[in-house]
Structure 1
Amino acid sequence: MTTLGVRIRDSHLAITSMQELVRLAERKGYTSVWLPESPGREVFTELTALAMSSERIRIGTGIVPVFARLPTVAAAAMNTAATLAPGRVILGLGIGHRPAMEGGHGVAFAKPFQHTREFAAIARQLLREGEISYTGDIYQIKQFQFDAPPPQPVPVFLAALRPQMLQLAGAVADGVLMNWASPDYIPEAIAHVRQGAEAAGRHPDEVEIACYLRTCVTDQPDVVEAACRAQLARYGSMTYYQKYFERIGFADEATAMAQAWQRGDREAAIAAVTLPMIQATTIYGSAETCRQRLQAYREAGLQHPIIAPFPIGEPIQETFVRTIEGCMAAD
């Protein structure tokens, strides 16, 4: 069976539209659906709605920022969803970004790496055993217990870009969720995950390797490139992504974007994104071309590619449907 996921999120997609897309993905043979959290859209509620409108497909949060929840509360929310869709839900966690956490949520963005390590460890134990006592630098939990543990253990995935977080995912999570990766970066990323697993006394095969891949089935590549250029520029305003883009071979672009955003010059940031950067990090073109590119990622070692359709100026539902249908080869 071909493992292929789809990221479903856009501000113009109502929950009813998302339910239709999940049912389409399930009919086409996709194995997972992933939901980022955005302002005003609570991800566990959406996940539960999608789980109840589908039958087989796995549904994951991709991601829940660790500073916006308590680990006990996040685990309890996922435990509730797991009772409705046993064996089908995944808790995806990540650090998030300082401006969104401090400016948007009003919480201190302190010790992000340690915070993520402890949050993941607490949530994972609760979602396997249903109870925990824990003493860490961030959390001290005397005793917390679910009324009933999940019917099946719920996997915990950790968002990661660079070596330290990739190694942490290998040490404490059931999977890693990458973003904006080029095929060339996949083997390096996997090596870091394996290193983290082995250092923690785990077998590296216990950690599933997944990645969001911006994807669009289209006969208008210039339109896609313009849309993708703006997306990459937006990510280039964030410190973590600036450093990440440098690491995967786009240091000049990352520097130019950072300098442009420091001046408040959005257009210059967009102009700093080059065509090679777009082509390395985005899948677009005919359905056959997109499937070939997905296969290249698999051959590089990616176990769980997750297509992430994105707006290109047409009704977003059309983009999702065409891309979901095109990227899964007919039996």
Structure 2
Amino acid sequence: MEHGALFWLAEHAEMPHEHILAKGPVPASVQDCGEELGVDRSPVWSPDGSRLYVANRSEAFVVDVATGVPLWCTGTRVDWLAEWSPDGRYLAHLHQRLLHFRDAATGRPAADPVPNAGPRWDLSLHWGMRGDTARLAAVLSEVAAEPGVEVYDDRRLSHRLAVTPARTALARENKDFAVWAWAPSGDRGAVLTAAGDIEVWWLGDGELRRLRTLAAPAGTQGVLWGIDEVIVAVGERVLRFLRADSDEIVGAYTFLREADAELPLHEGCVYDHFDGRILALDEHTWCLPVEPDMAIAPPERRAGVEAQLAWIVDRRYAWPLHWGRFGVWPDAATAVAAVANLRSTSPGTWKLRQAVRQAAG
């Protein structure tokens, strides 16, 4: 922005009104929103960069970048749900269970309000584009009186999907966990269902059909759609890449996995010195890398160790463990005995010796 800056005062006690875009005389068109307009969610640019769109928990407004003056504002404090279309033409927002469409340039209504849209806890809004047509998916989750997905093409209802979408608690705060995703082409959509599956739907001109159902891993909280017909199931600990046009799983990953087993060393030692290194090979087996060339794990699980670990330089280059010498030892005592004559000053080995002495009493 040429005439100012947005900044975050993370240490300030009074957070909600610290990110001020404009002060001074407020145009009559925005006086209903108060004397100051703050930002508590990430703003977005208009396609031509001349305006900044803000959708807060309490209001939505547009700022002219050249002057810093807000052009219009509408209150959303009752329902806290507002989303801008990707082409910068419309704002969709909820107010007292009415779904409103507004012209982003003027703030005036762009269509009649949609009644009985549901409360904000049941509803989420997701814009997409199909050519020049802005498409809005209004997702009514499993806790709604009538779950489903309603699709609006240029503010007019065009489809209603008979599906029961999941309700993701973090969806409103974390966009990675949205339960609906538009295909980049805008002709299809993917929805995470309450049953834990991902359904892919065709949404053509007057045509609606379910194309296929994809299996999402346990813990999936949202769905994304990328290029090359790839759908991503995402959660706090899981990530799975799926083909939208088949049942193929391109990649599947689990993070922060824990094993239902005793740690290779007592908890104090692990968390004090080896915190961040230990990983679970599966739900029953721990692996503790101690040195760049050794780890504590069941020796018969070497293949699993080699599948999860690699030698890495500067987080840029890596090569497989089996390209060099790597020791896998069943317990701390065996590891200490194996390296007793090879190194004596290594921090990892020294800590390992200390843990073995403590265990021996």
Q: Under a length normalisation based on structure 2, what TM-score does the superposition of the two structures give? A: 0.23
Structure (1 or 2) with the greater helix fraction: 1
- Report which structure shows greater RCO (CA 8 Å, sep ≥6): 1
Structure (1 or 2) with the greater strand fraction: 2
When Rg is computed on C-alpha atoms for both structures, the one with the higher figure is 2
